[in-house]
Structure 1
Amino acid sequence: MTRQITDRLIFENKEYYLNVELLEDYFREFPEKRPEFKISCTALWRGYIAIFEIKNKELLIKEIDWLTDVDFKMKSLKDEIFPNNKFEWYSGLIRIDDFRGEFDKESENGIFEYLQIENGNFIQKRVFNYEQLQKFKKEQYEYFLLSDEVKIICNFWRKNNEEGIINKESLNKIIFENIMQYTRKVYVD
């Protein structure tokens, strides 16, 4: 599998490479907003590179460049897709620490940093050691299962589980393992 070119985030004058694609859920919800290009690249299946910035306590889309030809020429479409710059649609946790690694592994000696965003507004930076993170994830998962948010995830998996391979127990395990990515609302102080 070819490693994908990642999106980036600028926070407090430092640039971070993201292990998540913040725009993909937006384009799944609003497929008509995704520009159509016939060019594909094994290192950029989604077709674009986005740069985000947190400035004045807002999550901004600084740039979004789309792959337009095989010579890796890019075209900026930020003003067409997101003319007001603020990514108001996004709520969730964005991991920015240096312990992420390729697949966001959580080493027991790590310090984990997340930016909490609600409707495009920066709320706070959360810093955890390994034990604190595990406790936070467990509590967040328990509240998540009681929330309306869980229906969205269950519907997504139901649509993508036509063969019936994933049962409720395995789905709950998937949710728990990915709670930091699935969370759109932070329930734990």
Structure 2
Amino acid sequence: MRMFRLWCMALCLVFAEASFASAHRVNIFAFVDGDAVQVECGFNRSQKVKQGTVEVFDATTGALLLQGTTDDNGVFRFPVTAELREVGHDLNIRIIAGEGHQNDWTVAADELASSGTPKAVAVAAAEVPATPASLVAGQAAPSAAAPVAAVSGGATPAEIERIVDAALDAKLSPIKRMLAEQTEAGPNLRDIIGGIGWIFGLIGVAAYFRRRP
């Protein structure tokens, strides 16, 4: 009878802890989208945080940089300014949904540095005057000069790197969102049953040693 009571108490503790954690869990995910940071908040995949307070801090100094409110879809966006890029500090983003619902997400400085896509630079092909040498060589002279014109009038290596980084961020954002949802997911039935099994096992071991002479 005493063992039965212990098992019942263990079950109550496990389910109470899981319920408490689920009730006070709020998920947050932030990523760089073009020249802005998008913050998405929700209690689960279907219930979004509406009118929740979002605070953005400098992760290095702890200074509050800005504050905003999520919309009905649990989304809040703010622009990545030139100052944020130049400072080079991570951003700590916090969602406050009331009644103890709070969580944080960090956006790395290198993601901010690669935000935004430079405007395409139009490259005009330079005309190569016809000379006796070029006439003899056919189109060799114009074709050889064309890459030089493209390099001199095109984007710089730094701009090309920013374009590539921005494209990669756009492609990786859905993957990051799925990983964040998996990471922030609460305890499922398998986890709860596993925890109950551990507790029963420990109780059984304790009972065995108590009964030994």
- Superposition TM-score, scaled by structure 1 size: 0.26
Larger Cα-atom Rg = 2
- Superposition TM-score, scaled by structure 2 size: 0.24
Q: Which has the higher contact order (CA 8 A, sep 6+)?
A: 2
Higher strand share: 1
